[in-house]
Amino acid sequence: MCRSIAMAKENDEALETQFQKGVKRLYEKGIDKIPNKYILPVQERPNNTSQAEPSETCRENIKLPIIDFAELQGSNRPQVLKSLADACKQYGFFQLVNHGIPKDVIRGMVAGLRGFSSFPTRKDRNIVIRHASSGSIGTSFNQNKDNVFCWRDFLKLMCHPLPDVLPSLAFFSHRFQEAGGYLLKTNQILVSNDEVEGLQIQYKDKWVTVESIPNAFVVNVGDHLEIFSNGKYESVLHRVKVNSTKSRISVASLHTLPFKCMVRPWSKLIDAANPRRYKDTNFATFLDYISTRDPKNKEFLD
């Protein structure tokens, strides 16, 4: 092998070792070549023009049903509940308005994440994680198994019960204040994004982009609610398309029963016309399974 080829190979290998450190690290390194680990096969790209997924499907926007939480407390409750049920049946998603979470709390959550992402090195981030007791930072879904990584960096925290997961609360708060942010004390709410579009859902066998509403929460049916409803409400595949001009921050709050609590189809939804469709399971089994599988489909429910 000639010296120039060997050097090029070494450079490629050195670049490939950076992908484990996340998208922000790659950007800070000033790369001029996208690592192969971040390049999707043509047929899986959101803008591909194959018959399996025409490019125009990804340019379609969808207005999700809007549920007014305030009206759930009033005389319109029956009508709102019907609208909620219809949204879960038809879309598996809805947008929640008038939820009672102050705007400054939402802004504080996003500011806290921006502050965290501004930490200059991964070492600083790991200091915060260690003091948070139960958390991790990374990229993609499964860094040991994914063939192609996602264009994202994440901070993942267990947030309930709070005293168990933040034993050093004062330190955590101080480091976030240093970064110009706020303590992430609102992790148990579900925040959609910072109003940069990108969320897409599968609707009628097409990928469509969700039109965001300021200060609204995007709520979706999860796998365990599909199981509990015996398939009446569907857990819909969703993804996020990279925005080429703006950074995007999203906060997903996953609410579930305790790890070992069994979830099964509700007995009142099972009869001769609607036989049981799912096995009993729990959240711990779900997490173990998806950590070893491709997240682009619904293998767990299958």
Pairing of strands 135-139, 238-240: unpaired
- Return the pLDDT at 165: 59
Averaged pLDDT of the chain = 75
Give, in order, the Cα–Cα distances in Å from 174 to each of 112, 122, 185, 300.
12, 18, 13, 40
- Return the pLDDT at 95: 95
pTM of the model: 0.74
Locate the DSSP E strands across 59-134: 61-62, 66-68, 93-97
Give the C-alpha separation, 4 to 45, whole Å.
33
- Label residue 143 by pLDDT band (50, 70, 90): low
pLDDT at 297 over 80: no
The C-alpha angle with vertex 53 and arms to 42 and 236, in degrees rounded to 5, equals: 110
- Return the pLDDT at 125: 57
Burial status of residue 265 (CB atoms within 10 A of its CB: 0-12, 13-18, 19 or more)? buried
Better-predicted residue by pLDDT, 264 or 116 = 264
Give the three-state DSSP class for 66.
strand
pLDDT digits (tens, 9 = 90+) for 87-120: 999 999 999 999 998 888 888 878 877 777 776 6
pLDDT at 162 over 80: no
pLDDT digits (tens, 9 = 90+) for 26-84: 777 777 777 788 888 888 777 654 444 444 445 689 999 999 999 988 899 999 999 99
Give the C-alpha separation, 265 to 228, whole Å.
4
Better-predicted residue by pLDDT, 261 or 186 = 261
Share of the chain above pLDDT 90, in %: 26
pLDDT at 85 over 80: yes
- Return the pLDDT at 124: 56
Give, in order, the Cα–Cα distances in Å from 202 to each of 5, 214, 235.
44, 22, 10
- Return the pLDDT at 133: 52
- Domains identified in the chain and CATH numbers: 19-30+59-259 (2.60.120.330)
- Label residue 197 by pLDDT band (50, 70, 90): confident
pLDDT at 180 over 50: no
Average confidence (pLDDT) over 15-27: 67
pLDDT at 267 over 80: yes
- Return the pLDDT at 175: 43
The C-alpha angle with vertex 192 and arms to 162 and 294, in degrees rounded to 5, equals: 85
Asked if omega into 161 is within 30° of 0 (cis), the reply is yes
Give the C-alpha separation, 85 to 215, whole Å.
22
